[in-house]
Structure 1
């Protein structure tokens, strides 16, 4: 099958069809949805109408739930079948069905129940910007992924207000002594969030060559950083309150299947070879050709 050409002007195309969780003022029940152009499509309605009910492995209406967890952990073949059925249905459907809801009338919710998350520190450019000197990077950074546990209470969807945190750090106002005070500098961090779907039993080890089978999809992520609090508290154990003030994600999860057309070989070589358990085949080492940009609009309070 020919690789589809993905338009860039409209993110919610039929080639995308990301998943999220929505409600409306007229129906406050949270349920699963996808999005096409300027409409959210209520997947629980499509299932009840029989559009998706004949897909093997999709016995119950998993879309009538308040998160995507049960759908995400279904076998990949089932999820691919749902995506293909949606593409075929939406290609010929008019937005007059009760399943179509204008995005302006939709409230987005956090898409998956998340009991924990890991915050990776793997971008060389980001690390150099933080440490100001490449020579200050510890040798282990080049060998194993730098990562720490995040705080799930900080996770919110984009648009949720993130309040300026207070913490302990020294300033000229406090005569260089640590003092409890509001953060002076809030940093944004343009990152990608990865939602996993296929669990491992306790004690099992993930095979790097099958890691893609465990990925449900991706979101844009802003891990809000309280710069001065973080710099004061991070040595030697790592940041605490500074990384718990806010972690915003885009409300729609773009699936791994939607991104398959832009898989490509790694461009930047890894100068220190990773250990054997992190060395995979060509498929495991592939990456995505994604270009991101940041536009900041500030407002004075």
Structure 2
């Protein structure tokens, strides 16, 4: 896709550094250039906007900026767009993207990952010999707390995890490198406005608590995961690495892509999950997953954030509903996002992980490269690189890449 995801309709936020100036600071991106917001603010950019504190952009994370009111953040973002479009920003504030190093965009205190795609749940249940999806799944978003230490900014590499698993076809437990490393096509979103401990939030106010979205790859070791499922659920199988795209696309940029949910919930949800504005209850964000192997690029799958049974707004409201509190910078993973589209031969096209595509690892899938080459894939090999992309509208804006490589 030649079109840049970082159009003037976007104005995402991230944290970067360069060899010449190695201290991380805040930025936005337009096309192939990064705008150093520390310099922009120091030169007087957005200085007259009520509530804006220029020093927030000198910080090594976006937490201070995300803590500002949504009205202030929106005004700053709009001013940046106007100044760039009107050529009012000094050239010295720009850096070529190829010269930058991207960092985690926020200081992340907590990370929770959901399990909220009906199609993903149906496919996985079928391969786990479960006759039906557990009844409780339809009453509330399923979620577990995960490892902040495992979160990596794209592009990233991570070592093949080791752990305990059963040898294939036996009940003999062994310890060693995972033989079933998988990706999961997800999105993540960051908390802006906190929820104090002991308090809850109204689901209709959820957007006010979300700073923006990123792409998220929840790397999974299926053999370790299956060993750990009973009695407490996955540990090492899900805790080795999570890669996120480095640019946070804000709720302001995404609002125009709001749509109704795809699937009507049955039974009807509890009042604390009943989102009022049905026409804007979900987001239409197209997702794509690719494999890069031996210099060739293969499309694995595609999906859409809209497909989730439980929306991000419902997820966040439910997370806060027990009074645990939410802090600025907390990261939420949407869970693997799968769909139900098929081709003329009945092949499923919108599977969010290899566990689904290979029917629990029982068969290989054949991928076609953009240049005509082919590859067979069951689980990931050392040196494989998985790349996610996401776009809104007719490529009006995008998220850039979420890129990660598995190494031995």
Post-superposition CA distance 1:63-99 (Å, at most 9, x none): 0000000100100000010011011001022886111
Larger strand fraction of residues: 2
Contact 2:165 2:227 in 1 (8 A): yes
The alignment's TM-score, normalised by the length of structure 2, stands at 0.69
Post-superposition CA distance 1:210-234 (Å, at most 9, x none): 1111000000000000010001102
Contact 2:153 2:243 in 1 (8 A): yes
1:38 to 7, 32, 38: 32
Post-superposition CA distance 1:118-176 (Å, at most 9, x none): 10001112112222267331100011110000110000111121111001011149x64
Report how far residue 288 of structure 1 moved: 0.9
Change (3 A) 1:182 1:284: farther
Change (3 A) 1:274 1:284: farther
Find the aligned partners of 1:60 and 1:100 in 2 and give their Cα distance.
Answer: 17
1:198 to 188, 193, 202: 193
Find the aligned partners of 1:160 and 1:36 in 2 and give their Cα distance.
Answer: 22
Query: Is 1:116 aligned with 2:110?
Result: yes
Which residues in structure 2 correspond to 1:121-132 (within 5 Å)? 121-132=115-126
Match for residue 165 of structure 2?
169
Answer with 134-143 or 178-187: which moved more: 134-143
Contact 1:157 1:250 in 2 (8 A): yes
Find the aligned partners of 1:229 and 1:257 in 2 and give their Cα distance.
Answer: 40
Report how far residue 280 of structure 1 moved: 2.2
Match for residue 53 of structure 1?
47
Contact 2:275 2:281 in 1 (8 A): no
Find the aligned partners of 1:95 and 1:55 in 2 and give their Cα distance.
Answer: 17
1:189 to 184, 187, 191: 184
Find the aligned partners of 2:37 and 2:95 in 1 and give their Cα distance.
Answer: 11
2:220 to 195, 215, 225: 225
Report how far residue 32 of structure 1 moved: 0.2
Report how far residue 282 of structure 1 moved: 1.4
- Which ranges of 4 or more aligned residues in structure 1 deviate by more than 3 Å? none
Report how far residue 8 of structure 1 moved: 8.9
Higher relative contact order at CA 8 Å, sep ≥6: structure 1 or structure 2?
2
Find the aligned partners of 1:26 and 1:206 in 2 and give their Cα distance.
Answer: 44
SS state of the match for residue 98, structure 1? helix
> Which sections of structure 1, spanning at least 5 residues, go unmatched?
1-6
> Which sections of structure 2, spanning at least 5 residues, go unmatched?
295-381, 384-408
Answer with 102-111 or 90-99: which moved more: 90-99
RMSD value over aligned CA atoms?
1.9
